[in-house]
Copies of this chain bind each other. A is one copy, B any other.
Amino acid sequence: MRDLKGHPELCAVNSATLGFQATVHEVIDEIARAGFGGLALWRREMEGQDIKSIAKHIRDAGLKVTGYCRSTYFPADSRAQFEANVADNVTALREAAQLGAENFALVVGSGKDLSAAQAQVTEGIGQLLPHARALGVKLALEPLHPVYAADRSCVTSLAQALDICDLLGDRHLGVLIDVYHLWWDAFVARDIARAKGRILGFHVSDWLTPVGDVLNNRGMMGDGVIDIPALRAMVEAAGYSGLVEVEIFSTQNWWKRPMAETLGIAKERFGAFV
List chain A positions with a Cβ less than 8 A from chain B: 112-114, 118, 145-147, 149-151, 154-157, 159-160, 163, 183-187, 207, 209-211, 214, 224-225, 227
Q: Are A183 and B225 in contact, with the CB atoms below 8 A?
A: no
User: Interface SS of chain A: helix, strand, loop or mixed?
Assistant: loop
> What distance in Å separates the Cβ of A252 from its nearest Cβ neighbour in chain B?
16
Q: Are A156 and B209 in contact, with the CB atoms below 8 A?
A: no
Would you mind naming 27 contact pairs between A and B with Cβ atoms under 8 Å apart? A112-B225, A112-B227, A113-B227, A114-B183, A118-B186, A145-B146, A146-B184, A146-B185, A147-B147, A147-B211, A149-B183, A150-B184, A150-B224, A150-B225, A151-B209, A151-B210, A154-B186, A155-B186, A156-B184, A156-B185, A156-B186, A157-B187, A159-B187, A160-B186, A160-B187, A163-B186, A214-B214
> What distance in Å separates the Cβ of A112 from its nearest Cβ neighbour in chain B?
5
Q: Are B185 and A157 in contact, with the CB atoms below 8 A?
A: yes
Number of copies: 2
> What distance in Å separates the Cβ of A232 from its nearest Cβ neighbour in chain B?
16
| CA–CA, A146 and B156, complex, Å | 10
Nearest residue (CB) in B for A160 is: B186
> What distance in Å separates the Cβ of A180 from its nearest Cβ neighbour in chain B?
11
| CA–CA, A20 and B155, complex, Å | 37
Q: Are A186 and B209 in contact, with the CB atoms below 8 A?
A: no
